[in-house]
A and B are shown apart, each in its own frame.
Chain A
């Protein structure tokens, strides 16, 4: 460790391993800049905002603080520099290919950002009188119309705040529908390959979760599923295309069987990008499906949200969808249907409210701008190019990496590989960390759980052929190094702002907030 530098913070340079890269006084490496915490550089008196002086009277009877909150402040130039420096330690789609399977990291158009900031959308309060928010309500309603039409469904619940919240919304619709017919069923069937949110959501909604197995071809085992159906099964949660990157070709048969047995079909729409504009889930018998606007419809992931997870609903479930929602009136205006007027709009069976206010308006406007830009024809090309890019990756790598379901035919929007054939002691993690040094974000690793050392690659349609070819070249090189047992791969990444981090230490002695040493 080196000494305190003149600014008063101690850069954590650690041990420098090689003589080729001499240590620097600051811990910086040219454009790679170390940045202390705000608690190490700011002070409670520093302020980057001009505010009136604090000599105002305060009403009696309030429990006042003895002193201002102990929060460090920075002047504007210092703050801009702090966050700009931190931003440069992040990988992002704007920098390069981000092939995280099931996450659909596609280009985020800046037109979306521009329109979302129009004051008529961004600077309106959710409880303004409806006559003063018609622009916002019309945008919401226009998006709702697109989502319903693209999926061939009957209605849409717009308020869920992210995919997992949408799953909850769909399952609560199923609960409400079952209760309305006096049929209390408690089991939800979930395939082993499902996202972790599926079983977590089902349990959260008060259901008991049972797994259903996959076939050797990586799809839901229709026979096993049909055999398990019965009067205690409320429904199934199926991801389609599934997390192995394959279309569930028995989807319609699954839906029919579930319906005959009195259950409902929930579809996890995380992978809707593979089929948007070409296949309508409504035609496959789906009763509820969430749509991650931050995946298929290009709203930014923002380092972990905000997302938005509207849920499209079949005729059977639509009456139970949550409040509020928007309804177009005969005079062309749009009305918000809330607790007080739900009955007038024929929606008295709504299961309730999932959150305060009306959902993720800021995401609706971005998604709508994206959808209008592509149109019905462009969205068809989106799914086509997404699937083309994934198959190109699959076929350009399946001679050097094991593709467990590659022989079965084309994949959908993501290509799945395993670590079969790597040298003793080398794993998927090593290849993933090697990708970091090559300048790429790693793919999704160790998911789905049904494939050993899974690597799930989703390039998306916004990658050029040149970008794919560069990625493929890097992957081929890394696959060979993993098979040959190159020890340098074992300790990758070597060139990132940090090398492998000690996650065990973080979990064993959690340090979740900064405390003065």
Chain B
């Protein structure tokens, strides 16, 4: 087998050194009843590289890749152009096949990247510090709620209806077990965000207010106002960003007063990948650093006085603190952080600004074109690159019928909010710099056909 270097001759010689008669003898501690005499029945035997590649390629061919058709999906996962050099660099074996940098003398490559990543993320989110990544945006969002609870010693979180429903569900799952109370609400198909309702729900028992920016329908809440209301009650503002490219154009949540900013970094460098692996971004005020979850990389010097980097503040972490740790996280999303960091380095601030403006411009074109389709109305006033429209009938069926015409037209709110009647006709539409004018024309024409 191509991945196993030992020959039968090697095995025999090594067994002689050990003093065992066979490999099976090395499993003597496993009870006879649990030891299988041969390969597990009902599963195929080994296959060559050609055969495996053929099988996987055939499976892959049964999906419709986003890049092969007009494509308008977002809702927490975005298709932006990723330069070829990003994927080349993350496949360098020294990055790809390294472990968590526990031995800093021979892991400065990964560590310096993490230090650069933390700085890039902090600048993008507008926070003083950032960590070395978490699993994804949804788990980062829960970690922020849990951290706000530790800081304020309160356990009631006010959640805006604009927060992605999967993020709400993830938090709800955890809160069931930790005893935190989540004050949630559903979004409405209107141009206004629910800032007023959220502010009215804040009181002296509130640990944090969780607001997505832009929100799940692409609207932009007034973070400054919400931050002031939270602060007046001793609560923290947790801002959630699912489309980090928006921050190329919009003011950062940190600058608008958010205490903790979390995000999904997938849109930059990582790609769609059917939902994972993605990249949790986590930034906050420096005074909260000892309550942060996840790995942190810090600058230091070596025995010769040279600058170097190490994982630090690990007394917060599970391998030291065990049941008293701030989080149970061990593995995070290192290679995705690398992809994000390389892409952002290729863009620079000006490139990110241009990518954001190009995405915004295509979204504006798309919205204006859709507004001309009979029976379709655009919900949003302002938006970045994602907006909601109301269709004359159930959007789930419309999305499927569009797919039959080889157009991936958006995410139906029925998929995100099953059983919520008031949202069933809502469709989320997203454009990025990858969206062409031909794609927009194809969407409009297919939608006219489907709705005729």
| Given A355-B139, A357-B77, A362:B277 Cβ within 8 A | yes
Q: Is the CB of B403 within 8 A of A129?
A: yes
Stretch at the interface among B52-60, B153-161, B440-448: B52-60
Within 8 A of B (CB), among A183-223: 195-197, 199-206, 209
Task: Map CB proximity to A onto B91-112 as digits: 1 under 8 Å, 0 otherwise.
Answer: 1111111111111111111101
Say whether A170 faces chain B, with CB atoms less than 8 Å apart: no
Q: Is the CB of A90 within 8 A of B65?
A: no
Q: How far is the CA of A121 from the CA of B319 in the complex (A)?
A: 35
Q: Is the CB of B139 within 8 A of A84?
A: no
Residues of chain A within 8 A of B353, CB atoms compared: 54, 65, 68-69
Q: Is the CB of A462 within 8 A of B59?
A: no
Say whether B198 faces chain A, with CB atoms less than 8 Å apart: no
Other-chain contact of A108, B59, B92, B97, B329 (Cβ < 8 Å): B97
Other-chain contact of B333, A47, A146, A305, A500 (Cβ < 8 Å): A305
| Given A305-B332, A306-B336, A388-B14, A512:B4 Cβ within 8 A | no
Say whether B304 faces chain A, with CB atoms less than 8 Å apart: yes
B203 smallest CB distance to A (angstroms)? 25
Stretch at the interface among A91-99, A224-232, A311-319, A477-485: A91-99
B106 smallest CB distance to A (angstroms)? 4
Q: Is the CB of B248 within 8 A of A69?
A: yes
B86 smallest CB distance to A (angstroms)? 9
Q: How many A-B residue pairs have CB under 8 A?
A: 738
Residues of chain B within 8 A of A251, CB atoms compared: 34
Stretch at the interface among B22-30, B182-190, B227-235, B369-377: B22-30
Q: How far is the CA of A359 from the CA of B170 in the complex (A)?
A: 13
Residues of chain A within 8 A of B451, CB atoms compared: none
Q: Is the CB of B105 within 8 A of A498?
A: yes
Q: Can you pick out 20 interface pairs between chain A and chain B where the beta carbons lie within 8 Å of each other?
A: A14-B304, A14-B306, A47-B347, A47-B351, A51-B354, A80-B89, A114-B53, A127-B73, A132-B403, A133-B63, A163-B330, A355-B138, A358-B275, A374-B1, A384-B24, A385-B23, A388-B23, A394-B18, A467-B5, A513-B128
Most buried by A among B223, B299, B313, B348: B348
Say whether B327 faces chain A, with CB atoms less than 8 Å apart: yes
| Given A47-B350, A69-B247, A372-B52, A200:B1 Cβ within 8 A | no
Within 8 A of B (CB), among A65-93: 65, 67-74, 76, 79-80, 82-84, 86-93
Residues of chain B within 8 A of A199, CB atoms compared: 318, 322-323
Say whether A64 faces chain B, with CB atoms less than 8 Å apart: yes
Residue of B nearest to A253 (CB): B31
Q: Is the CB of B56 within 8 A of A368?
A: yes
A247-B27, A301-B334, A376-B39 known, 15 other contacts, Cβ within 8 Å: A45-B349, A69-B247, A83-B338, A251-B34, A306-B333, A361-B275, A361-B276, A363-B277, A369-B53, A378-B46, A384-B24, A493-B106, A507-B314, A510-B289, A512-B115
Other-chain contact of B173, A65, A111, A120, A322 (Cβ < 8 Å): A322
| Given A200-B328, A277-B39, A49:B347 Cβ within 8 A | yes
Q: Is the CB of B105 within 8 A of A76?
A: no
Q: How far is the CA of A16 from the CA of B209 in the complex (A)?
A: 53
Q: Is the CB of A197 within 8 A of B330?
A: yes
Task: Map CB proximity to A onto B306-327 as digits: 1 under 8 Å, 0 otherwise.
Answer: 1111101111011111111101
Q: Is the CB of B306 within 8 A of A105?
A: no
Query: 10 closest pairs, A vs B, by CB?
Result: A73-B348, A302-B335, A357-B275, A120-B60, A94-B93, A126-B275, A340-B418, A304-B334, A306-B277, A352-B173
Q: Is the CB of A58 within 8 A of B330?
A: no
Within 8 A of B (CB), among A244-284: 246-247, 249, 251-252, 275, 277-280, 283-284
**Prevailing SS type, chain A contact patch:** loop
Task: Map CB proximity to A onto B336-369 as digits: 1 under 8 Å, 0 otherwise.
Answer: 1010001011111111111101101100100000
Q: Is the CB of A375 within 8 A of B25?
A: no
Q: Is the CB of A73 within 8 A of B302?
A: no
Say whether B285 faces chain A, with CB atoms less than 8 Å apart: no
Residues of chain B within 8 A of A464, CB atoms compared: 5-6, 10
| Given A86-B108, A129-B399, A92:B66 Cβ within 8 A | no
Q: How far is the CA of A448 from the CA of B355 in the complex (A)?
A: 49
Q: How far is the CA of A388 from the CA of B61 in the complex (A)?
A: 40
Within 8 A of B (CB), among A468-517: 491, 493, 496-503, 505-507, 510-514
Q: Is the CB of A339 within 8 A of B169?
A: yes
Residue of A nearest to B361 (CB): A56
Other-chain contact of A125, B66, B179, B252 (Cβ < 8 Å): B66
Q: How far is the CA of A175 from the CA of B318 in the complex (A)?
A: 21
B33 smallest CB distance to A (angstroms)? 7
Say whether B152 faces chain A, with CB atoms less than 8 Å apart: no
Q: Tally B residues with Cβ within 8 Å of A.
A: 211
Other-chain contact of B357, A49, A54, A163, A195 (Cβ < 8 Å): A54
Task: Map CB proximity to A onto B75-92 as digits: 1 under 8 Å, 0 otherwise.
Answer: 111010101010111111
Q: Is the CB of A513 within 8 A of B119?
A: yes
Other-chain contact of A135, B45, B60, B75 (Cβ < 8 Å): B60
Q: How far is the CA of A373 from the CA of B344 in the complex (A)?
A: 36
Q: Is the CB of A507 within 8 A of B93?
A: no
Residues of chain A within 8 A of B393, CB atoms compared: none
Residues of chain A within 8 A of B29, CB atoms compared: 246-247, 249, 409-410, 412
Q: Is the CB of A90 within 8 A of B46?
A: no
Q: Is the CB of B65 within 8 A of A127?
A: no
Q: How far is the CA of A340 from the CA of B313 in the complex (A)?
A: 43
Say whether A391 faces chain B, with CB atoms less than 8 Å apart: yes
Residues of chain B within 8 A of A348, CB atoms compared: none
| Given A196-B318, A206-B177, A87:B358 Cβ within 8 A | no
Q: Is the CB of A74 within 8 A of B348?
A: yes
Q: Is the CB of A48 within 8 A of B56?
A: no
Other-chain contact of A356, B19, B66, B76, B328 (Cβ < 8 Å): B76
Residues of chain B within 8 A of A16, CB atoms compared: 304
Q: How far is the CA of A382 from the CA of B3 in the complex (A)?
A: 9
| Given A38-B116, A63-B256, A376-B40, A511:B14 Cβ within 8 A | no
Residue of B nearest to A206 (CB): B177
Residues of chain A within 8 A of B324, CB atoms compared: 203
B177 smallest CB distance to A (angstroms)? 4
Say whether B220 faces chain A, with CB atoms less than 8 Å apart: yes
Residues of chain A within 8 A of B100, CB atoms compared: 301, 303-305
Task: Map CB proximity to A onto B260-272 as digits: 1 under 8 Å, 0 otherwise.
Answer: 0000100000011
Residues of chain B within 8 A of A15, CB atoms compared: 304-305
Q: Is the CB of A128 within 8 A of B167?
A: no
Residue of A nearest to B137 (CB): A356
Q: Is the CB of A127 within 8 A of B411?
A: yes
Q: How far is the CA of A33 from the CA of B279 in the complex (A)?
A: 30
Say whether A182 faces chain B, with CB atoms less than 8 Å apart: no
Q: Is the CB of A375 within 8 A of B85?
A: no
Within 8 A of B (CB), among A108-132: 108-109, 111, 113-115, 117-129, 131-132
Say whether A450 faces chain B, with CB atoms less than 8 Å apart: no
Q: How far is the CA of A79 from the CA of B15 in the complex (A)?
A: 49
| Given A124-B272, A301-B97, A111:B34 Cβ within 8 A | no
Q: How far is the CA of A246 from the CA of B123 in the complex (A)?
A: 48
Residues of chain A within 8 A of B64, CB atoms compared: 120, 124, 128, 132-133
Residues of chain A within 8 A of B345, CB atoms compared: 38, 42, 48, 71-74, 79, 82
Q: Is the CB of B298 within 8 A of A135?
A: no
Q: Is the CB of A108 within 8 A of B27?
A: no
Q: Is the CB of A277 within 8 A of B94?
A: no
Q: Is the CB of A56 within 8 A of B77?
A: no
Residues of chain A within 8 A of B38, CB atoms compared: 380
Residue of A nearest to B122 (CB): A513
B30 smallest CB distance to A (angstroms)? 6
Q: How far is the CA of A94 from the CA of B364 in the complex (A)?
A: 47
Q: How far is the CA of A202 from the CA of B63 in the complex (A)?
A: 39
Other-chain contact of A165, B59, B120, B139 (Cβ < 8 Å): B139
Residues of chain B within 8 A of A375, CB atoms compared: 39, 43-47
B406 smallest CB distance to A (angstroms)? 9
Residue of A nearest to B342 (CB): A83
